Amino acid sequence: MTEVFDGIVVGGGIVGCACAYYLSERFPKVLLIEKGPVGGGSTAAGMGHVVVMDDSRAQFALTQYSQQLWNELFPQLEPSCEPRSTGTLWVAADEEEFSHVDGKRKLYESNGLRAEVLDTKAIREAEPHLREGLPGGLLIPGDSVIYPMTAAAWLLDQARLRGAKLLQGRAVVKMGQGKTTLDDGTTLDAHFVVNATGDRAQTLTPGLPITPRKGHLIITDRYPGYVRHQLVELGYLKSAHEMSNESVAFNAQPRATGQILLGSSRQFVGWDPGIDRNLIAKMVARATEYLPGIGSLSVIRTWVGFRATTPNSLPLIGSLQHDPATLVAAGHEGLGITTSLATGKLIADIASGVESKIDRNPFAVSVEVKS
Amino acid sequence: MTVRINGKEFEVSPGTSVAAALLNIGYSGFRRSETGESRGPVCGMGICLECRVQIGGVRHVRACMVTCQDHMEIETDA
């Protein structure tokens, strides 16, 4: 009498929704369980930058593959998902940073992506509110922006049209060996289960090396055209790798509404949800070094979110060695909106026992099982 | 002192807020909502954000929170 699902996905953030999206193409009985709103949590807190990142070869492959998948979906997405081809403009703060720009261009071009070096004049033509005298930057025109919450909900809607089910409002307290136990004591059976609970994944799969890394974001009122591309300082990865307790890097995104989304901060402070006013001030000061007029714009809201950080900055995508029916799709740090789709594909490939378009080994899951 | 409102000069007393200046002249609509509806000041103390105008080229400035300065450029419905 008990229904046995092909696969149960735990977590309705964008990664879980992408898993449901691609699993439902191959399996008729997929269930996604989400205790809160779909596309909440870190998904709702994120910027929604679809970006190819050159942090490591594996990260480049995963982000590039994901971006191709997003590009395939863009024509189908609802307008509320706000897909926009803004490109990314990596901004050099000084000549030292600018000296690395051409190497970065070659890397993107050798992987078949467009990349254009902008000099001091061209960068101001591209972004008139950038300060005078910046040496230049690198434009990656293929990058884009989406609205993560609605995109997650859209992915799940498509999965449900293909027959996937959603169980909302119930928390999962235990999962493994094909069994999923809910907070009301119900146990559900499936051939495989997917832990897509992001920065909380280590609570359901003990031993996963995931640590929450807090970030603050700021959003302004509507100033259409003030910023045209997603602007990121070239030193961004330096900040991302800074393992000290606190770092700030300039990142500004034009939203479809004309609002400007301003980042970024990184802190290891557990799940403390409070807004740190001093850190907000540091983020604005950092942004002012690039956009001197930004301080005259009205901010309407600030918030925080938690990135699911792993030791090597790569997500964990794969099955557990000691429990192959449990798959993990978590640990996406600050790139989960981009890498959600490739993650969903890889999970569907693993579940159906087929090869993937990219090497899955760098994302293999190893868990310290404590006795 | 004088301010320019939508390109026209007006005399105002020192210490007048931009919102008061606009109301004295007869403006009730200060801005347009996203769907084009007219909006004007409600709270007069910086909370409701309904009185936003453009001042000196900067959009979304709360008219009730800014005191008129000589030669200030103010635009409504910007």
C-beta neighbour count of A341 within 10 angstroms: 29
- Residues of chain A with pLDDT below 50 are 1, 371
Name the residue in chain B with its Cα closest to that of A300. Answer: B49
Residues 6+ apart with CB under 8 A from B20: none
Token pair for residue A282?
């540091």
Q: Do A357 and A321 fall into the same domain?
A: yes
Residue A188 lies in a domain: yes
Check residue B7 and report its DSSP letter.
T
Q: Do A237 and A294 fall into the same domain?
A: yes
Residue A282 lies in a domain: yes
Residue A190 lies in a domain: yes
Residue A69 lies in a domain: no
A129, A220, A221, A257, best to mutate vs chain B, most B CBs in 10 Å = A221
pLDDT given for residue A236 in this prediction: 78
Whether residues B58 and A222 touch (CB distance < 8 A) is answered with no
Residue A235 lies in a domain: yes
Chain A CB contacts of B61 under 8 Å are 298
For chain B, the straight-line distance linking the first and the last C-alpha, in angstroms and rounded, comes to 23
The domain of A161 spans 4-51+148-210+313-363
* Domain of residue A127, CATH code: 3.30.9.10
DSSP code per residue over A70-114: HHHHTTTS-GGG--B---EEEEESSHHHHTTHHHHHHHHHHTT--
Q: Do A120 and A218 fall into the same domain?
A: yes
Tally of structural domains, chain A: 2
Q: Do A95 and A133 fall into the same domain?
A: yes
pLDDT given for residue A237 in this prediction: 73
Q: Which amino acid is at A17?
A: C
Residue A161 lies in a domain: yes
Q: Do A216 and A255 fall into the same domain?
A: yes
| A291 to chain B, closest Cα gap in Å | 15
pLDDT given for residue A235 in this prediction: 86
pLDDT given for residue B36 in this prediction: 94
Residue A106 lies in a domain: yes
pLDDT given for residue A370 in this prediction: 57
A99-105 contacts at long range (C-beta below 8 A, 24 or more positions apart)? A100/A234, A101/A136, A101/A137, A101/A138, A101/A234, A104/A54, A104/A138, A105/A138
Chain B CB contacts of A219 under 8 Å are none
Q: Do A157 and A177 fall into the same domain?
A: yes
Whether the Cβ atoms of residue A60 and residue A109 lie closer than 8 Å to each other: no
Residue A77 lies in a domain: no
* Domain of residue B26, CATH code: 3.10.20.30
Alpha carbon distances (Å) from A200 to A195, A214, A324, B58: 10, 13, 20, 42
Chain B CB contacts of A222 under 8 Å are 59-60
Name the residue in chain B with its Cα closest to that of A222. Answer: B60
- What is the mean pLDDT of each successive set of 10 residues along chain B, which is 78 residues long? 97 97 96 94 95 94 97 95
Q: Do A189 and A265 fall into the same domain?
A: no
pLDDT given for residue A1 in this prediction: 47
Q: Do A123 and A215 fall into the same domain?
A: yes
The domain of B28 spans 2-75
Residues present in chain B in total: 78
Distance CA A279, CA A194 (A): 36
∠ CA A364-A339-A367 to the nearest 5 degrees?
25
Tally of structural domains, chain B: 1
Distance CA A49, CA A101 (A): 20
Q: Do A169 and A131 fall into the same domain?
A: no
List for chain B the helix, strand, coil content (%; round to 5). Answer: 15, 35, 50
Token pair for residue A100?
């690395």
Q: Do A120 and A190 fall into the same domain?
A: no
Which residues does B contribute to its contact with A (CB < 8 Å)?
Answer: 52, 58-61
* Domain of residue A165, CATH code: 3.50.50.60
Chain A CB contacts of B58 under 8 Å are 296-297
B60, B64, B65, B66, best to mutate vs chain A, most A CBs in 10 Å = B60
